[in-house]
Amino acid sequence: MSMNTQGRPSRPLHTHDAGAYTDTFSGSRGLDQAEPLIFERGRVDVTGVDLPEPTGAALRIGGLERKAEIGLPGLAEPETMRHYVRLSRKNYAIDLGLYPLGSCTMKHNPRLNEKMARLPGFGDIHPLQPQSTVQGALELIGELARWLMVLTNTPCVAMSPKAGAHGELCGMMAIRAALDARGETGRRRVLVPESAHGTNPATAVQCGFFCDEIPADATGRVDMAAFKAKLGPDVAAIMLTNPNTCGLFERDIKEIADLIHEAGGYFYCDGANFNAIVGRVRPGDLGIDAMHINLHKTFSTPHGGGGPGSGPTVFSQALAPFVPVPYVVREGETWRLVEHEHEAEGQPFGRMVAFHGQMGMFTRALSYMMSHGSDGLRQAAEDAVLNANYVLARLRHVMTAAFDGTCMHEALFDDRFLKGTGVTTLDFAKAMIDEGYHPMTMYFPLVVHGAMLIEPTETESKASLDRFCDTLEGLALAAQAGEAERFTAAPRHAPAKRLDETRAARTPVLRWSPPAETPQAAE
Amino acid sequence: MRYLPLTPEDRKDMLETIGAPSVDALFADVPETARLKGPVDLPRRATELEVERAFTAMSSRNLSASTAPFFVGAGAYKHHVPATVDHLIQRSEFLTSYTPYQPEISQGTLQTLFEFQTQVALLTGTDVANASMYDGSTACAEAVLMACRITKRQRAVLSGNLHPHYAEATRTLAKYMDIEIEAAAPVPGGLDAVSDALTDDVACVVVQNPDVFGQVHDLRPLAEAAHAKGALLIAVFTEVVSLGLIESPGAMGADIVVGEGQSLGVGLQFGGPYVGLFACRDDRNFIRNLPGRLAGETVDADGRRGFVLTLSTREQHIRRDKATSNICTNSGLMALAFTIHMTLLGEAGLRTLARLNHERACEMADRLAALPGVEVLNSAFFNEITVRLPKPAAGVVEALAAKGILAGVPASRLYPGKGLDDLLILAATETNTDADLDALEAGLKEVL
């Protein structure tokens, strides 16, 4: 096979033109080593695995053999190892330091969970093996379901949703199915507070609903007068996040539940922030009809650079008949999978995904839950709330707290303290990178201007929080002292300097392409 | 508690700084009646050793694939994953990072996603791919929605030989979007009548190759028929290794190609997490309608190449109720595993692996065809075949499982009540030894 990879990279690794500079010949900066793409380094005839030789017998694929070169480069095993280890070093991670990304809940990921998920009886079984050969796995799903139902005080849980947003879809589809079963085809309006996650409105629309926003009041919570005014016979549901995205508990939540039920609608709760209250408050006691639980957030399954997630969704009695397939049931000493709609007892709205959900996340989450126990989970929620309030208390004299009073598990600041400094929220965030921290969540929630949402989580020590608060205090004072350059030039100490996101969106380059045949001499 | 670093002394000091009398005071916004006074009714904390014992006990009640002659496929496949893959995905910096919202300190994740997108585009014979979906079935469902947005039509036609779970996931997602889904009847070992349903109002035709019964098809006639009606062809695969041997769906005329990437790097895991692959033509309208994340190339302030998440204006956090989908995450870690395994294989390794899979399946087909009363239905296949047995397949599979042989998936488990009770779907891969095939053959002889 010919080699396809000896050309130029699709963009230069480093250049000396147009004012750009680099001070090394290799493009590396010490331990921060420049690493080309596999397409620039590998060759199509190199492989990093030893496989037996095929016998060369005739093919029986209907004459559809692929003939042309695919263009996939290979690397030998040591080259592969070095390539991905080098790349890994360009990432920030919770194992490296505090990751205060509000709403994302970056907490310690215990390695016991990884070990448990890799037991051959969980990691190496097929979803369509005979059920008699996977009784332990079905039991694990059943046991995790039990923990989730007890912690939320709900009678039913759908385990198959593959992520939080998929769980939202599951809950809202059950609501749609319940309304359809009642013959209520006119109920299509879903009330969504201004502070909702962007997935909430998108989810409602995918269920054939349209959204109607409820504003926030001066305390950062649902404006009750506005909410009441919007209730009517066409209201299908409210989608509320609790604790909400401002890091606050919705004080009127029980009244909201009662009012939406009286109006004939359902109460969907976005459970992304369940980690703030797990073991202390049961959402079922608050009157919710459906709520997804992000296992990766509350129960510490690692998020691997953006997934996988897992979003089991609990249901109230009213919605339980509509739970999707598949699910597990216990019959005496035997566990059984209900895989088809016609075997189900209620009126499931269908199947959301090919198999039974994120088994690998179930094992990790249950391992974490059993490690904590009922007492430890409660303590974890308390420490998460304590840590956030500590950050709020330590920083409110130099940064502006968005709201008065205490918070739940995340502290919300806004950009008023940067007014007139020439430093933007983004600049401030990039300066945190130079200090060795991942920036907080920015510009969200939308209800405050220049939002900075800090979630320390329960796995930070007091010493770690003190160092973090000292650093942020230093940055805030520097900004106010006119040291704008420190911020606008940031990050100075990162694998990359500030990246041109506009250019990426305007002229999208979404894949590597082989270099052109003739050199671009005209350039 | 080993995961919680605060000491009682710390908690006291911190409450003092906050100016709160107790932790309870921090929960003051919770209605009094909803505040639990003590722990819920679940076991209290367990030591690491206790958790390991409980899990090992549950794990031992399952028959794991590597300890049995194993021929189960139908959407998930057992392949050997090099040790390097599992080691690298457990690197802290990959395992414990989040979505790369800050590109300057996420180049590791972003560059690997860019490599992943390129590999997927090359494999599928298309131009661009996204940074992965939850799995193949959700990718399939999202592809149908995308085709409806592009063509502004509200009807989709599914092949009867599309994996029924994929069809069901698609039907569920389309259910409340006013999209009409029509499906042809399954034709095991043959060509279903999906092209008969093509009319001028069809947005897309969805066809799987190799199909759920293992049959390999030439997609070109269907692509031509679909395009003639202004419809898009969505090609689905559940066995990505097949792309190392068979002509790519893109080259055969598919407009959108989706599938499951579990075979490379990910492992069986009882069905998840898996990795959905999603690729399409390089067309402005297609890219604007692509669901999910995209990594794109750009430069940093020094002019050095770098990568960012891009074109997020299609996504839920910007467009909210006008977003192309509600998806907020991808399968980042599984996409990484896929990319590392693919990089180790390279083109040469992938082609060899595909060839080995096919040869094992040929051998299995020949051995089964020689058994009295057993008929192999496929004329062309990759690593999976469907056989007709002289008795119901479900009972045969159970009887063989009792002997420690995992002999495949009865078609009745996927298509209950469709009269396919005597059909068995079996997959063979490079992991199957001669002894495995001997055991399957001997086991079938005994129970048939």
Task: Give per-residue pLDDT as tens, B160-210.
Answer: 999 999 999 999 999 999 999 999 999 999 999 999 999 999 999 999 999
Tell me the pLDDT of chain A averaged across its residues: 93
Identify the pLDDT of residue A16. Answer: 41
| Residues of chain B scoring pLDDT < 50 | none
Is residue B266 a contact partner of residue A126, using CB atoms and an 8 Å limit? no
d(CA B150, CA B173): 17
d(CA A473, CA A466): 10
Please tell me what DSSP assigns to residue A260: H
Global ipTM: 0.97
Mean pLDDT confidence for A344-367: 96
Pairing of strands A411-414, A452-454: antiparallel
Identify the pLDDT of residue B301. Answer: 95
Contact check, Cβ <8 Å, B40/A356: no
User: Which one of A74, A309, A511 has the shortest CB-CB distance to B347?
Assistant: A74
Cβ-based neighbour number of residue A462 at 10 Å:
19
- Given a cut of 60, whether residue A492 has pLDDT beyond it is yes
Is residue A117 a contact partner of residue A110, using CB atoms and an 8 Å limit? no
Please return the burial class of A461, using the count of CB atoms within 10 Å of its CB with bins 0-12, 13-18 and 19+: middle
To the nearest whole Å, the CA of B126 is away from the closest chain A CA by 11
Q: What tokens does B60 get?
A: 């031992």
For residue A413, give Cα distances in angstroms to A210, A380, A385: 31, 23, 16
User: Which one of A123, A352, A459 has the shortest CB-CB distance to B3?
Assistant: A459
d(CA A331, CA B358): 41
d(CA B305, CA A40): 13
β-strand partners of A454: A101, A411
| B90 contacts on A by Cβ (under 8 Å) | 114
Percent share of chain A, pLDDT over 90:
89
d(CA A286, CA A275): 16
The residue in chain A having the minimum alpha-carbon distance to the alpha carbon of residue B243 is A66
Contact check, Cβ <8 Å, B104/A42: no
Confidence of residue A51 (pLDDT cuts 50, 70, 90): very high
Is residue A126 a contact partner of residue B267, using CB atoms and an 8 Å limit? no
| A43 contacts on B by Cβ (under 8 Å) | 346
The residue in chain B having the minimum alpha-carbon distance to the alpha carbon of residue A284 is B34
- Can you state the angle between helices B164-175 and B136-151, rounded to 10 degrees? 50
To the nearest whole Å, the CA of A143 is away from the closest chain B CA by 11
Radius of gyration of chain B (CA): 25
| B397 contacts on A by Cβ (under 8 Å) | 130
For chain A, the residue count is: 523
For residue A284, give Cα distances in angstroms to A236, B48, B369: 19, 31, 57
| A498 contacts on B by Cβ (under 8 Å) | 104, 300-301
Identify the pLDDT of residue A117. Answer: 98
User: Which one of A84, A206, A371 has the shortest CB-CB distance to B88?
Assistant: A84
Contact check, Cβ <8 Å, A136/B60: yes
d(CA B114, CA B112): 5
d(CA A279, CA A275): 9
Contact check, Cβ <8 Å, B5/A460: yes
Among A511, A512, A513, most B C-beta atoms within 10 A, so best to mutate, is A511
| A210 contacts on B by Cβ (under 8 Å) | 321
| B137 contacts on A by Cβ (under 8 Å) | 353-354
Q: Which residues contact A16 (CB under 8 A, 6 or more apart)?
A: A22
Give the least confident one: A77-81, A404-408, A444-448. A444-448
Which of helix, strand or coil describes residue B287?
helix
Contact check, Cβ <8 Å, A249/B27: yes
Identify the pLDDT of residue B322. Answer: 84
Contact check, Cβ <8 Å, A121/B333: no
- Given a cut of 70, whether residue A14 has pLDDT beyond it is no
Q: Is A518 left (phi over 0), alpha (psi -120 to 50) or beta?
A: beta
Contact check, Cβ <8 Å, B123/A72: yes
To the nearest whole Å, the CA of B368 is away from the closest chain A CA by 16
To the nearest whole Å, the CA of A17 is away from the closest chain B CA by 9
End-to-end CA gap in chain B: 56
- ∠ Cα B9 B10 B13 (to 5°): 90
The residue in chain B having the minimum alpha-carbon distance to the alpha carbon of residue A74 is B346
| A288 contacts on B by Cβ (under 8 Å) | none
- Given a cut of 50, whether residue A2 has pLDDT beyond it is no
Contact check, Cβ <8 Å, A53/B352: yes
Contact check, Cβ <8 Å, A385/B245: no
Among A10, A13, A64, A366, most B C-beta atoms within 10 A, so best to mutate, is A64
Identify the pLDDT of residue A346. Answer: 92
- Given a cut of 70, whether residue A520 has pLDDT beyond it is no
Q: What is the dihedral of CA B142, B147, B153, B154, to 10 degrees?
A: -20
- Given a cut of 80, whether residue A521 has pLDDT beyond it is no
For residue B167, give Cα distances in angstroms to A400, B331, B428: 52, 21, 24
d(CA A154, CA B169): 26
Is residue B215 a contact partner of residue B190, using CB atoms and an 8 Å limit? yes
**Is omega for the bond preceding A243 within 30 degrees of 0, making it cis?**
yes
Confidence of residue A22 (pLDDT cuts 50, 70, 90): low
User: Which one of A123, A309, A461 has the shortest CB-CB distance to B269?
Assistant: A123
Identify the pLDDT of residue A518. Answer: 52
- Given a cut of 60, whether residue A20 has pLDDT beyond it is no
Contact check, Cβ <8 Å, B34/A202: no
Residue with tokens 């319940």: A178
